Structure formats: structure tokens, C-alpha cells
Amino acid sequence: MKPVLLVLLPAFALAACGGDEAASPASRTETGDSTSAAPAPADTAGPIDTASNEQGAETGPDANAVLASLGGDYANADLANGARQFRRCQSCHTLAEGGRHTVGPNLHGVVGRAAASADRFNFSSQLSESGLTWDLATLDAWVENPRALVPGNRMSFVGLRDAEDRRDVIAYLAVETATE
């Protein structure tokens, strides 16, 4: 939404000025040619540009394939929102491969992994003995309310109440792991 507004506002300003030579910039729309095949983002190399996921055009096939493989509503996840939500986790977690454990364990590859199995992190016995595997459902419950899922664990995080925020941040964990 916002980028489109930012593009259109100067165009309106120009139109309002009424200069007879100023017509053309306003007519440049963002719709592009809908017949062109793959969206072909400018930066195909390097990390996924999560910021543009809302437009659905520039995430590249890898991120979309990962989202599709998660199934269900995860295919509609908003990775830009996931990245935003992950900022709340970043005070305690790194996500990059080989990232350091800080207050919490590094989360690279956590989706699908047994709970408390990251190397060299001192997990609580509660989490170690939980027997959980971090699939989409257990992650969702954990991020919503870690204490309810594993009483006595050491993650002091109030939880994300909004189901879409949880979906998006979990999708972000999966995509960042798979595409890095």
C-alpha cells in the first residue's frame, strides 16, 4: 500500500500544478505488464528481500516454495510482518546459520527439530524433558504462550496473541533457514 501512495502523491502534486508539460509522470502506473511471466526481481542473488513480500512480486521462487511446502495458511504468510515480529525475538535469539546463542539459543533450523537439541545451549530441564518437536503446531503454541506449553521453561516472553503474527514469524523462521 504505502509504496504505491508514495509514488502517486508526487504525481498528484504535479497534476495539481497544471503545467502542460507535466502530464507524463502521472501516467506511469505500477501495474506493469501483467502478461510478463516470472516477476524477475532485480536481485536474484543474496538473501530474500522480505520487505517486498507484501507485493508478492519480489520474494523469488525459493521463499514462495518454502511457504507452499509449509501448507495451509502458511502459503499466505506475510514475511515482511514476520521479520517485524522477529524483532521481538532478536533481543534473545539469533537466526543466521552458526549464529551465537545469546539469552536464548540460535534458532537456525529450529522448524522440524526436537526441542532443546541445539548444541551447547544450557536449556532448562523443563524444555529438555518436554519431548516436543518444533513443528508448526507446537511452535504456534509456544510463540503464543511459552509458559502454558512448557511450564517452568526459561523463555520470558509474554507471547504473540495475534494468530497472523505467529503464522508470519514462524514462516519467517522457516524461510530464513531454507533460503540462506
Residue 60 or 105 with smaller CB distance to ligand HEC: 105
Determine the 3-state secondary structure of 114 from DSSP. Answer: strand
What span, in angstroms and rounded, lies between the C-alpha atoms of 169 and 150?
20
Residue 58 or 74 with smaller CB distance to ligand HEC: 74
Residue 64 or 124 with smaller CB distance to ligand HEC: 124
CB 73 to ligand HEC: min, Å: 17
Measure CA of the first residue to CA of the last residue in the chain; give whole Å: 28
Determine the 3-state secondary structure of 32 from DSSP. Answer: coil
Amino acid identity, residue 96? A
The answer to whether 126 and 104 are in contact (CB under 8 A) is no
Here the cell at position 160 is 504473540
Distance of CA 147 to the CA centre of its chain: 24
CB 109 to ligand HEC: min, Å: 9
Residue 60 or 166 with smaller CB distance to ligand HEC: 166
Strands (E), the chain: none
- Name the residue among 126, 167, 169 with its Cα closest to residue 148: 126
CB-count burial class (<10 Å; 0-12, 13-18, 19+) for 170:
buried
CB 175 to ligand HEC: min, Å: 13
CB 95 to ligand HEC: min, Å: 9
Residue 63 or 134 with smaller CB distance to ligand HEC: 134
CB 45 to ligand HEC: min, Å: 27
Residues that bind ligand HEC (CB under 6 A): 88-89, 91-93, 103-105, 107, 110, 115-116, 118, 123-124, 126-127, 134, 139, 142-143, 153-157, 160, 169
